[in-house]
Structure formats: structure tokens, C-alpha cells
């Protein structure tokens, strides 16, 4: 546990001292600020536009950060060989990978938190009545980011190439928003091969539609059992992904 | 108990290309034993398998066949790693951390309790007190080497594994390294080092193993190269020449 924390800590420092991290948070802030323009132009729905737009921007920038950073999480250390002096200490490979991943998530969550602070401030300033759904929407967004991070890490260990890992991750991200459609396809199609492909895709690709609270903002009572279920689903998915990553990583040579 | 023991240790690198797999021999059938308290030198030309042997001993690489143990523990196990201080061929450090931060990180990962105290002590020992809060990105090569030495000694390990510790150093730094290694030996530490510099190995090693193209062709005691048999250089050259008849320059 102590090892995991030490590794998470330097990973957090590494990300925070990385300029790219600032660039992304900076862009996020610019975009959110720019959405004020929309408010100035818009009519009655202005708050709603600011709300949706901001949440989408926060998620998008967190996604870009987590995708690049997770893909490079182990790859970069393997290429620069800085990993030698960590793995030749009494640190298990599993602790190393878990620590790295935890540190990355801490960095990305902090970025999201900063952007959300600004966003929420702007909303309230424009007359938004703050309610619990806002932090819940962010929480589900963070869950999505966690899933995508674990997927990106898995691909990076599987393919050892940053570009193909990023491509695969983006592919999963996009398809993850069409899970229901894929399931529908799997049920409708009669040919065997496409049916099997659709079924496999449905079960392996994370269902990211569960995490879009902002799509159901006005549906009453939706928060009930669905949010805990989504959170448990997200955790299970990430843990499964991480387990595969740990297995791949334990067989690596440096 | 031996500090390091290998039995028929073999490593074949496999590189997958699109259509075929390229195989490169790293080391082959290595039988090596390093006693506690001695300085053992792996001597060989570039590409002879020194770094491969060291990485196998650290568990960074897995043997293709055969085995290697450190103080009786499986290479790469946390029990084995706890007893090892490793200095890589090239200083591979996080450039965004300061001297103090990186040593604190390694100290924590080594499971030390008195991290701050230990780090101050070691920074002082390698003469970097003035630079403790500078990022490594600003360090010169010589200073990075000192950080390398510092991190290898942080946890006061029993066994030091140094990969080419003197290559690329200036004469003064070489002299310092020699003094350090002899001092460590006098404190009962075991040292396993690699080098392609015969003159250095000759000065400090108790025993030397000559590696040629991944094979340990000969192991020598200090007395064998100080006595009548000739200098270590002539022994080394004749061993290398024997195995490399075919691909030498024709002068
Ligand atoms: N990662 C690797 N992949 C493929 N071949 C390698 C790799 N590392 C080393 N080799 C090969 O193994 C042999 C021994 O290399 P090495 O152990 O680095 O030698 P030395 O440290 O004595 O210079 C060389 O032929 C080298 O090309
Ligand atoms: Mg080498």
C-alpha cells in the first residue's frame, strides 16, 4: 500500500508538472468561458445551454488528457527506461501499475475539479439553481474517464504502440456511446457472423450511455437505483480491464 | 551462500516482425557464481552480453532457459531486490524531479522509514548538497552519475550491481569510483560489475569472467593475471581472438 501511494504521488507530480496538462485545463477553461457568449446570444434556454455545453467540455478535455496520459503511463517509462530504477526496488509490478494508474486518475480528477469549479461558478452567477444533480453528473463523467483510462492502459500494454492504442481507445469511446444500438443490431440481424460480432462487441465495449446524466437532466426520479448501478458497473469494468493489464504487464521484459 | 548463482542461464531475444521472428543471442549457458564479499568483474566487448546478464540478475529480463538466484532467492523477487543496489549503464532518471525528490522516492520504494534523514546523508556523501533542490534536467553528466551512486547506496544493500560504472567518466571521477568500490568491499559488500575497460577491472576485481558473444569463456582469479601468466589484457585478447577468428579486421 505504501508503495502504491509513493508511485501514485510521483505520477501526480509528473502530470502536474507536465505542460500538456495545463494546456488542456486552460483550453477547458477557455471553452467554458466562451460558452458565456452562447448565453448572451441565447433565449430562455440559456442556462441549459451553458450547463450542457460546460459538462460536455469538461468531459471532453478530461477524456483527451486521460487517453494520452494512460497510453503513455507505462510506455513512456519503458522507452525512457526510468522504469528500471523503480522495478529494481522491492516493488511488485502490480503495485507499480496500480500506483501509476491511481496517480494519473488523481491528476485528471483534479483537472476536472478545477474546470467544474469555474463552470459551476458561472452557472450560479447566471442564475442557475444549484442542485445535487450537478455533482452527480460530474461523478458519472469521472467514472467514464476512469473506464476509458483503464481501456487505454490495456491497449498500450497490449500493442506497445502509442498511436494504435489511442486509435483503439477512441474507437471504444465512440462505440461505447452506441451500446444499445449494437445490442439491437445483435438481436435483429439473422446472419450468424454479424450477429456474433455484434454480441461480442456489446459485451466487451463499455456501455458509456449509462454515464450521461446530463441527457436525462429533466427526467424526474431517474437518480434512484440507476446511479449506484452505473457506478458499480463502471468500477467492475475498470477492475476487469486493470486485471488484464496487470497480467500483460507481469509478463513484460525491459 | 553465494551472492549470485546462475545455472545454464540463457537469454534469447525475440523480436517479432510482420512475417518472421528475429532471434538474437544475449547470453548462453552461463554458469557463474559470485561469492559474498568479493568484487567480480564481467569483462567483455560491446554486445558480449554484460548488460543482458545484469538485467537477468535483476529480474528485468526473464531467462529463456536456466536460472539465476540472488542470495538464494529468485532473481527479481522482492526479497532479492531488497538486497541489491543497482547502477544502470546510463542514468535513467525522471528529469522533472529534484535531486532530493528523486532520492526520497527511491528511499520510500526501498521501504526505508527514516527517509528524510537518509536522503540528506546520502546527498551529502556524494557531494551534491548545494544542488539538492535543483531539477535533474539541469544536471551535468557527472552529477547524474553521482545521483546514480547515491540511489544505489540509499538502502545500504549487501550486493551492488554496477553496469559499466567507469565508462565515460573523467580520470578524477574514475579514481573516485575505484575508491568507493574498494571502500564498499572493505565494509563487507559484494560487488558485481561489468566493464569493457581491462585496466579498470584489473585494478579492483578479485575475480573476472570473460564474456565473448554471450559465452563465459574463462573465469580468472586475481593471482592469475598478476602472476607469470601475463597481464589481463593479453589473456583477454587471446580469448577474444580465439572466438572471433572469422570476423576480424585484416591489417
Ligand atoms: N532488447 C534487445 N533486443 C534484441 N537484442 C538485444 C537486446 N538487448 C541486447 N540485445 C543483443 O544482445 C547481445 C548482448 O547485448 P548486451 O547484453 O547489451 O551487451 P553488452 O552490455 O555486453 O554490451 C547483443 O548482440 C545485442 O545486440
Ligand atoms: Mg551493456
DSSP calls for chain A: -HHHHHHHHHHHHHHHT-HHHHHHHHHHHHHHHHHHHHHHH--TTHHHHHHHHHHHHHHHHHHHHHHHHHHHHHHHHHHH-TTHHHHTSS--HHHHHHHHHHHHHHHHHHHHHHHHHHHHHHHHHTT----THHHHHHHHHHHHHHHHHHHHHHHHHHH--HHHHHHHHHHHHHHHTTHHHHHHHHHH--SHHHHHHHHHHHHHS--GGGG-GGGGTTSTTTTTTHHHHHHHHHHHHHHHHHHHHHHHHHT---
Whether the per-residue pLDDT at A36 is higher than 90: the answer is no
Ligand 2 centre distance from Cα of residue B54 (Å): 9
The answer to whether B24 and B133 are in contact (CB under 8 A) is no
Share of chain B above pLDDT 90, in %: 68
- Chain position carrying cell 511488485: A92
- As a whole number, mean pLDDT of residues B78-86 equals 95
Distance, CA of A25 to CA of A29 (rounded, Å): 6
The answer to whether B75 and B226 are in contact (CB under 8 A) is no
| pLDDT category of residue A222 using cuts at 50, 70 and 90 | low
- What CATH topology corresponds to B2-70+184-250? Rossmann fold (3.40.50)
Q: Is B84 within 8 Å of chain A by CB?
A: yes
CA-nearest residue to B157 within chain A is: A89
Residue-level pLDDT at A217:
65
Distance, CA of B14 to CA of B4 (rounded, Å): 26
> Strand pairing of B190-195 and B21-34?
unpaired
- As a whole number, mean pLDDT of residues B17-41 equals 91
Q: Of A91, A92, A253, which has the smallest distance from its Cβ to B60's Cβ? A: A253
Ligand 1 centre distance from Cα of residue B40 (Å): 21
Q: Is B189 within 8 Å of chain A by CB?
A: no
Whether the per-residue pLDDT at A111 is higher than 60: the answer is yes
Give Rg (Cα) of chain B: 19
Residue-level pLDDT at A197:
85
Degrees (nearest 5) of the Cα angle A242, A150, B110? Answer: 60
- As a whole number, mean pLDDT of residues A101-105 equals 95
Whether the per-residue pLDDT at A219 is higher than 70: the answer is no
Q: Do B151 and A85 touch (CB under 8 A)?
A: yes
The answer to whether B123 and B103 are in contact (CB under 8 A) is yes
Q: Among A186, A180, A188, which residue's Cα sits nearest to residue A206? A: A180
Chain A hits for B96, CB-CB cut-off 8 Å, are 13-14, 17-18
Whether the per-residue pLDDT at A22 is higher than 70: the answer is yes
| pLDDT category of residue A218 using cuts at 50, 70 and 90 | low
Q: Indicate the Cα dihedral angle A241, A247, A250, A251, nearest 10°.
A: -120
The residue whose C-alpha atom lies closest to atom 25 belonging to ligand 1 is B47
Distance, CA of A107 to CA of A40 (rounded, Å): 33
The Cβ of residue B53 has, within 10 Å, a number of other Cβ atoms equal to 30
Q: Do B79 and A90 touch (CB under 8 A)?
A: yes
DSSP SS3 for B109: helix
Interface list for A 9-28 with B (CB within 8 A)? 9-10, 13-14, 17-18
Residue-level pLDDT at B183:
94
Whether the per-residue pLDDT at B228 is higher than 80: the answer is no
Q: Among A105, A85, A207, A94, which residue's Cα sits nearest to residue A152? A: A105
Degrees (nearest 5) of the Cα angle B167, B14, B165? Answer: 10
ipTM score of the complex? 0.90
8-state DSSP, B165: S
Q: Is A75 within 8 Å of chain B by CB?
A: no
Q: Which helix (H) or strand (E) holds B32?
A: strand B21-34
Q: Which residue has the higher pLDDT, B248 or B27?
A: B27
Tell how far CA B38 is from the center of its chain: 14
| pLDDT category of residue B249 using cuts at 50, 70 and 90 | low
Residue-level pLDDT at A48:
80
Q: Which residue has the higher pLDDT, B60 or B141?
A: B60
Pick the ligand that lies closest to the CA of residue B15. 1
Residue-level pLDDT at A52:
84
Residue-level pLDDT at A42:
64
Q: What is the pLDDT of residues A149-163, one digit of tens each?
A: 999 999 999 988 889
Q: What is the pLDDT of residues B170-202, one digit of tens each?
A: 888 899 999 999 999 999 999 999 999 888 888
- Chain position carrying cell 558473444: B213
Domain parsing of chain B, residue ranges: 2-70+184-250
Q: Which residue has the higher pLDDT, A21 or A232?
A: A232
Closest atom, ligand 1, to C-alpha of B44: 22
Share of chain A above pLDDT 90, in %: 39
8-state DSSP, B77: S
- Chain position carrying cell 565515460: B168
**Which residues does ligand 1 sit against, CB inside 6 Å?**
B 13, 15, 24, 26, 44, 46-52
Q: Is B236 within 8 Å of chain A by CB?
A: no
The answer to whether A133 and A214 are in contact (CB under 8 A) is no
Tell how far CA B116 is from the center of its chain: 27
Chain A hits for B157, CB-CB cut-off 8 Å, are none
Can you read off the three cell numbers belonging to residue B58?
A: 535483476
| pLDDT category of residue B204 using cuts at 50, 70 and 90 | very high
How high is the mean pLDDT of chain A?
86
CA distances from A20 to A48, A66, A68, A77 (A): 30, 11, 10, 17
Whether the per-residue pLDDT at A215 is higher than 60: the answer is yes
Q: Which of B16, B44, B47 to mutate to test the pocket of ligand 1 (most atoms within 8 A of CB)?
A: B47
Q: Which of B30, B42, B46, B51 to mutate to test the pocket of ligand 1 (most atoms within 8 A of CB)?
A: B51
Chain A hits for B82, CB-CB cut-off 8 Å, are 90
Can you read off the three cell numbers belonging to residue A167?
A: 486509435
Distance, CA of B231 to CA of B235 (rounded, Å): 7
Q: Among B90, B44, B83, B106, which residue's Cα sits nearest to residue B190? A: B83
Residue-level pLDDT at B177:
92
8-state DSSP, B239: H
DSSP SS3 for B173: helix
Q: Among A251, A95, A85, which residue's Cα sits nearest to residue B81? A: A85
Whether the per-residue pLDDT at B121 is higher than 70: the answer is yes
Distance, CA of A126 to CA of A192 (rounded, Å): 54
Amino acid at each position: 500500500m505504501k508503495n502504491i501511494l509513493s508511485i501514485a504521488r510521483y505520477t501526480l507530480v509528473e502530470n502536474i508538472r507536465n505542460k500538456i496538462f495545463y494546456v488542456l485545463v486552460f483550453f477547458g477553461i477557455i471553452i467554458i468561458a466562451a460558452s458565456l457568449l452562447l448565453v448572451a446570444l441565447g433565449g430562455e434556454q440559456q442556462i441549459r445551454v451553458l450547463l450542457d455545453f460546460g459538462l460536455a467540455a469538461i468531459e471532453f478535455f478530461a477524456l483527451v488528457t486521460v487517453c494520452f496520459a494512460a497510453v503513455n503511463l507505462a510506455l513512456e517509462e519503458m522507452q525512457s527506461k526510468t522504469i528500471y530504477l523503480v522495478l529494481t526496488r522491492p516493488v511488485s509490478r502490480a503495485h507499480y501499475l496500480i500506483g501509476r494508474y491511481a496517480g494519473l486518475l488523481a491528476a485528471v480528477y483534479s483537472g476536472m475539479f478545477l474546470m467544474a469549479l469555474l463552470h459551476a461558478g458561472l452557472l450560479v452567477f447566471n442564475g442557475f439553481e444549484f442542485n445535487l444533480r450537478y455533482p452527480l453528473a460530474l461523478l458519472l463523467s469521472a467514472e467514464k474517464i476512469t473506464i476509458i483510462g483503464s481501456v487505454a492502459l490495456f491497449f498500450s500494454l497490449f500493442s506497445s504502440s502509442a498511436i494504435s492504442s489511442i486509435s483503439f481507445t477512441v474507437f471504444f469511446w465512440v462505440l461505447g456511446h452506441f451500446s444499445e444500438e449494437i445490442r439491437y443490431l445483435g438481436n435483429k440481424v439473422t446472419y450468424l457472423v454479424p450477429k456474433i460480432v455484434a454480441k461480442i462487441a456489446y459485451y466487451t465495449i463499455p456501455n458509456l450511455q449509462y454515464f450521461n446524466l446530463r441527457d436525462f437532466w429533466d427526467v424526474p426520479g431517474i437518480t434512484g437505483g440507476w446511479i449506484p448501478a452505473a457506478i458499480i458497473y463502471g468500477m467492475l469494468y475498470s477492475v476487469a480491464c486493470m486485471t488484464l493489464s496487470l497480467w500483460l504487464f507481469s509478463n513484460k521484459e525491459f | 551462500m553465494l551472492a549470485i548463482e546462475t545455472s545454464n542461464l540463457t537469454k534469447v531475444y525475440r523480436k517479432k516482425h510482420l512475417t518472421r521472428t528475429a532471434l538474437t543471442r544475449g547470453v548462453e549457458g552461463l554458469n557463474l557464481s559470485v561469492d559474498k564479499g568479493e568484487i567480480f568483474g564481467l569483462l567483455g566487448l560491446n554486445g558480449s552480453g554484460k548488460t543482458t546478464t545484469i538485467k537477468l540478475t535483476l529480474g528485468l529480463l526473464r531467462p529463456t532457459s536456466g536460472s539465476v538466484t540472488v542470495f538464494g532467492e529468485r532473481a527479481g523477487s522482492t526479497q532479492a531486490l531488497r538486497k541489491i543496489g543497482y547502477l544502470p549503464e546510463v542514468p535513467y532518471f525522471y528529469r522533472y524531479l529534484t535531486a532530493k525528490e528523486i532520492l526520497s522516492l527511491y528511499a520510500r520504494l526501498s521501504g526505508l522509514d527514516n527517509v528524510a534523514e537518509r536522503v540528506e546523508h546520502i546527498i551529502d556523501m556524494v557531494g551534491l548538497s548545494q544542488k539538492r533542490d535543483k531539477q535533474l534536467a539541469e544536471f551535468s553528466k557527472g552529477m547524474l552519475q553521482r545521483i546514480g551512486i547515491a540511489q544505489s547506496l540509499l538502502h545500504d544493500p549487501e550486493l551492488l550491481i554496477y553496469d559499466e560504472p567507469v565508462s565515460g567518466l573523467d580520470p578524477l571521477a574514475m579514481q573516485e569510483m575505484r575508491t568507493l568500490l574498494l571502500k564498499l568491499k572493505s565494509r563487507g559488500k559484494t560487488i558485481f560489475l561489468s566493464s569493457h575497460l581491462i585496466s579498470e577491472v584489473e585494478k579492483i576485481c578479485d575475480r573476472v569472467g570473460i564474456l565473448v558473444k554471450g559465452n563465459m569463456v574463462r573465469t580468472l582469479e586475481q593471482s592469475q593475471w598478476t602472476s607469470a601468466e601475463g597481464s589481463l589484457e593479453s589473456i583477454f585478447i587471446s580469448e577474444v581472438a580465439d572466438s572471433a577468428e572469422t570476423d576480424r579486421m585484416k591489417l
